């Protein structure tokens, strides 16, 4: 048993955050306790950076010594230096092809710059997404050709028909081969980043960045995109409310769900003095 400092990687939606997108008082108190014992807290999300910084500020995790994993591992942001210490982007050719194929299939497609979510048409999907995570929208009918910045990820949304989104994933993955990775962050959200990029790759990168063995890391999540970090971490934890494949991949499944401070349970079990077991 070790009491040396470690790192806990936390998914946001339906993990650290409840259905109302709130951090429970118990989770907040547990995060503060873990930090006071020398452990690092890393918010690890598929969300864009601009939608994650406000939560990091709220939790006092936007300061020197803290970092954020955004875009499912494609961006690692140093909060003290306010700069990317890792950033992987899609090729323009891949972005253009995927965007056009999504539109041909009549699936909503969106991309990002560092401050906004962008799409070629206004629709319920992008408005709901924008309100849910708190990021402003730019509607540009000339997309995708007008996009001049590098693209960190694409997101395809279908709130009504998961099977149609799954069929699109299979077709696009067959085209992309080993070059790109397409995966779900929930049943309605299909994400695309370069192959080799994941929350798991971020776990390994940040552990190396801080000089902490991966064996002294913990990861907590609930959806398909969390499986790589659960597999990479020293202890991989699934929320009680996680989908079946995440629970199967985990070393530990919480007794409490995201509505009842399951993250606090993980911190109390594995990170508090005398109970840190990785």
pLDDT digits (tens, 9 = 90+) for 87-118: 999 999 999 999 999 999 999 999 999 999 99
Q: Which residues, 6 or more positions from 262, have their beta carbon under 8 angstroms from its beta carbon?
A: 15, 220, 239, 240, 241, 254, 255, 256
Domain-located, residue 2:
no
To 10 degrees, what angle do helices 25-36 and 262-270 make? 30
* Contact between 159 and 166 (Cβ < 8 Å): no
Average pLDDT over the chain, rounded to whole? 95
Q: Are strands 189-194 and 108-112 parallel, antiparallel or unpaired?
A: unpaired
What is the C-alpha end-to-end distance of the chain, expressed in Å? 7
Q: Residues 227-277: pLDDT tens digits?
A: 999 999 999 999 999 999 999 999 999 999 999 999 999 999 999 865 545
Residue 275 lies in a domain: no
What is the band of 3 on the pLDDT scale with cuts at 50, 70, 90? low
Distance CA 272, CA 236 (A): 17
> Do 140 and 104 share a structural domain?
yes
Query: How many structural domains are present in the chain?
Result: 2
CATH number, domain containing residue 97: 3.30.1240.10
CATH code, 57:
3.40.50.1000
- Domain limit, last residue, from 164, 194, 224: 194
Q: What is the DSSP string of 31-94?
A: HHHHHHTT-EEEEE-SS-HHHHHHHHHHTT-SSTT-EEEEGGGTEEEETTTTEEEEE--B-HHH
- Separation between Cα atoms, residue 213 and residue 160, nearest integer Å: 43
Q: What is the pLDDT of residue 276?
A: 46
Which residue range is the domain that position 101 belongs to?
92-194
């Amino acid at each position: 048993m070790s009491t040396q400092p470690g790192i806990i990687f936390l998914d946001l939606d339906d993990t650290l955050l409840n259905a109302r997108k709130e951090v429970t008082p118990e989770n907040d108190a547990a995060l503060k306790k873990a930090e006071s014992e020398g452990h690092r807290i890393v918010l690890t999300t598929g969300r864009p950076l601009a939608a994650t910084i406000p939560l990091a500020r709220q939790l006092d995790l936007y300061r020197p010594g803290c970092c954020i994993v955004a875009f499912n591992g494609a961006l690692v942001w140093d909060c003290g230096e306010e700069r990317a210490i890792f950033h992987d982007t899609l090729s323009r050719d891949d972005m253009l092809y995927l965007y056009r194929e999504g539109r041909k299939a009549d699936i909503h497609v969106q991309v990002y710059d560092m401050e906004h979510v962008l799409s070629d048409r206004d629709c319920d999907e992008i408005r709901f997404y924008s309100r849910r995570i708190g990021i402003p929208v730019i509607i540009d009918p000339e997309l995708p050709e007008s996009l001049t910045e590098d693209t960190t990820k694409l997101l395809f949304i279908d709130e009504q028909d998961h099977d149609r989104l799954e069929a699109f994933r299979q077709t696009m993955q067959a085209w992309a081969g080993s070059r790109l990775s397409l995966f779900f962050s929930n049943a309605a959200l299909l994400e695309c980043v370069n192959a080799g990029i994941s929350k798991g790759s971020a776990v390994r990168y940040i552990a190396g960045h801080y000089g902490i063995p991966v064996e002294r890391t913990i990861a907590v999540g609930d959806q398909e995109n969390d499986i790589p970090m659960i597999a990479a971490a020293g202890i991989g934890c699934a929320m009680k409310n996680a989908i079946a494949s995440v629970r199967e991949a985990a070393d530990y499944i919480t007794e409490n769900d995201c509505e009842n401070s399951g993250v606090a349970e993980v911190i109390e079990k594995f990170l508090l003095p005398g109970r840190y077991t990785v």
